[in-house]
Chains A and B, each alone.
Chain A
Amino acid sequence: MPKTIPENSVGIVTPQCLHFDEPLILRSGKSIASYDLMVETYGTLNAARSNGILICHALSGDHHAAGYHKEADAKPGWWDSCIGPGKPIDTNKFFVVCLNNLGGCAGSTGPTSINPETGKFYGPDFPVVTVRDWVNSQKRLMERLGINQWAAIVGGSLGGMQVMRWAISYPDKLRNAIMIAVAPKLSAQNIAFNEVARQSITADPHFHEGRYLEHGTYPKKGVMLARMVGHITYLSDSAMREKFGKAAEAMTTDAIKSNFGRDLSSGKLSFGLDTDFQVERYLHYQGERFSERFDANTYLLMTKALDYFDPTVDFDGNLSKAFANSTCRFLLMSFSSDWRFPPERSREIVDALLEARKQVTYLEIEADQGHDAFLLPVPRYMEAFGTYLQRVSDEVNS
Chain B
Amino acid sequence: MMRPDLDIIQHWIAPGSRVLDLGCGDGSLLEYLKTNKNISDTGLEIDERNIQGCLSKGVNVIQQDLNKSLKNFSDKSFDTVLLTQTLQAVNYPDVLIDEMLRIGKNCIVTFPNFGNWRSRWYLFWKGRMPVSNFMPYQWYNTPNIHFCTVRDFDELCRERNIKVITRTVVDHKHQGNWYIRMWPNLLGETAIYHISR
Contact = CB atoms under 8 A, between A and B. Distances in A.
Interface of A: 329, 347, 350-351, 354-355, 357, 359-364, 380, 383-384, 387-388, 390-391
Interface string B100-126: 000000000000000000000000000
A354 B61 CA distance: 11
A388 B55 contact: yes
Contacts, number: 45
Contacts of A357: 18, 40, 77
B132 interface: no
A361 B41 CA distance: 11
B40 A359 contact: yes
Given A329-B60, A355-B77, A390-B56, A363 B51 contact: yes
A359 B63 contact: no
Interface in B35-63: 40, 42, 48, 51-52, 54-56, 58, 60-63
B77 A384 contact: no
B62 A383 contact: no
B74 interface: yes
Contact of B62 (A350, A355, A387, A390): A350
B77 A362 contact: no
A383 B54 CA distance: 13
Interface of B: 18, 40, 42, 48, 51-52, 54-56, 58, 60-64, 72-74, 77
Query: Which 6 residue pairs across A and B have the least CB separation, nearest first?
Result: A387-B55, A351-B72, A391-B58, A362-B62, A359-B60, A364-B63
Contacts of B54: 361
Given A384-B51, A384-B55, 7 more contacts: A351-B72, A354-B77, A357-B40, A361-B54, A363-B51, A380-B48, A387-B56
Contacts of A361: 54-55, 60-62
A384 B52 contact: yes
B56 A354 contact: no
Contacts of B48: 380
A383 B77 contact: no
A239 B38 CA distance: 45
B60 A360 contact: yes
Contact of A354 (B42, B51, B55): B42
Nearest to A366: B48
Contacts of B77: 354-355, 357
B72 A354 contact: yes
Nearest to B51: A363
Contacts of B52: 383-384, 387
Contacts of A384: 51-52, 55
A380 to B, nearest CB: 6
Nearest to B53: A387
A364 B62 CA distance: 9
Contacts of A362: 61-64
Nearest to B57: A391
Contacts of B51: 363, 384
Contacts of B74: 355
11 contacts: A329-B60, A347-B72, A351-B72, A355-B74, A359-B60, A360-B42, A361-B55, A362-B62, A363-B51, A383-B52, A384-B52
Contacts of A359: 40, 60
A5 B143 CA distance: 49
A360 B55 contact: no
Contacts of A363: 51, 63
Contacts of B55: 361, 384, 387-388, 391
Q: A329, A354, A360, A391: which has the most chain B beta carbons within 10 Å?
A: A354
Contacts of A355: 74, 77
B79 to A, nearest CB: 11
Nearest to A389: B55
Contacts of B40: 357, 359
B71 to A, nearest CB: 9
Contacts of A380: 48
Nearest to B20: A354
Given A347-B72, A384-B51, A391 B56 contact: yes
A383 B48 CA distance: 11
A384 B54 CA distance: 10
Nearest to A394: B58
Nearest to A392: B58
A354 B73 contact: yes
A57 to B, nearest CB: 25
A333 to B, nearest CB: 9
B41 to A, nearest CB: 8
B39 to A, nearest CB: 12
Q: B56, B60, B73: which has the most chain A beta carbons within 10 Å?
A: B60
A362 B43 CA distance: 10
B154 to A, nearest CB: 32
A350 B73 CA distance: 11
Contacts of A350: 62, 72
A388 B72 CA distance: 24
Contacts of B60: 329, 359-361
Nearest to A329: B60
A362 B60 CA distance: 8
A325 to B, nearest CB: 17
B155 to A, nearest CB: 33
B146 to A, nearest CB: 26
A134 to B, nearest CB: 28
